[in-house]
Amino acid sequence: MNILDIEVPLIAALNGPVLLHSEYVLLADIVLATPETVFQDKPHFDFGIVPGDGVNLLWPEVIGSVRGRHFILTRQVLDARTAREWGAVNEIVPAEDLLARAREIAEGLAALPPLTSRYTRIALTQKLRRIVDEGAGYGLALEGISAAEVARSMAAQG
């Protein structure tokens, strides 16, 4: 995944709901969210296809195996507070202060020696990289097969 190829600290500043591609967020090192932010994996099951693009790997890794699978399977809506309790969000920040807080953290990191901040990101994401490298290809193949089946049934129904 090339978000992991961004080899400098990555801060996600969530200005509201994340109903798709939440893997972008879970590959960040620091996650700030407004109180209105909620998480859900919506479009995969809405379209009837396997959520195999990495959310299947990352949610169980971040919030725990049982919680993560339940989140995906039930299209659970996770509010910012619960997401913070479960370890997917670091701080809840009012919308008007969100970017200022992100910049404050970012400037602190930018003051580190350049190789140090860069290599710390790499060191911190080794395990995530292994998980993604190991599972994303297979998950996406399963998603593709399920998409072909959905397309076939839609075509059959005219």
Partner 1 sequence: MSPFSTYKYSFANARLTRSESGVLEVALHTDGGKLVFNGHTHEQFVDLFHQIGSDADNRVVILTGSGDAFMDAISPEGFDFFSPRGTTRSTARARRS
Residues that bind partner 1 (CB under 8 A): 1-3, 5-21, 24-25, 28, 36-37, 42-43, 47, 49, 53-54, 98-99, 102-103, 106-107, 109-111, 114, 117, 136-137, 140-141, 143-144, 147-148, 150-151, 155
- Using CA atoms, how far residue 103 sits from 67, 68, 117, in Å, is 31, 30, 15
Given the complex with partner 1, which of 15 and 74 has the nearer CB atom?
Answer: 15
Question: Please, how many CA atoms are within 13 Å of residue 51, restricted to the half-sphere of its CB?
Answer: 27
Please choose, from the candidates 143, 147, 148, the residue with its C-alpha nearest in 3D space to the C-alpha of residue 72. Answer: 143
**Least distance in angstroms from the C-beta of 66 to partner 1:** 26
Given the complex with partner 1, which of 66 and 120 has the nearer CB atom?
Answer: 120
Catalytic residue among 7, 23, 85, 149: 23
**Active-site residue 107, yes or no?**
no
**Least distance in angstroms from the C-beta of 140 to partner 1:** 4
Given the complex with partner 1, which of 66 and 113 has the nearer CB atom?
Answer: 113
Given the complex with partner 1, which of 63 and 136 has the nearer CB atom?
Answer: 136
Do the beta carbons of residue 93 and residue 14 sit within 8 Å?
A: no
- Using CA atoms, how far residue 53 sits from 23, 47, 106, 110, 127, in Å, is 8, 14, 28, 31, 17
Tokens matching residue 58: 């990352």
For the annotated catalytic residues, the residue numbers are: 23
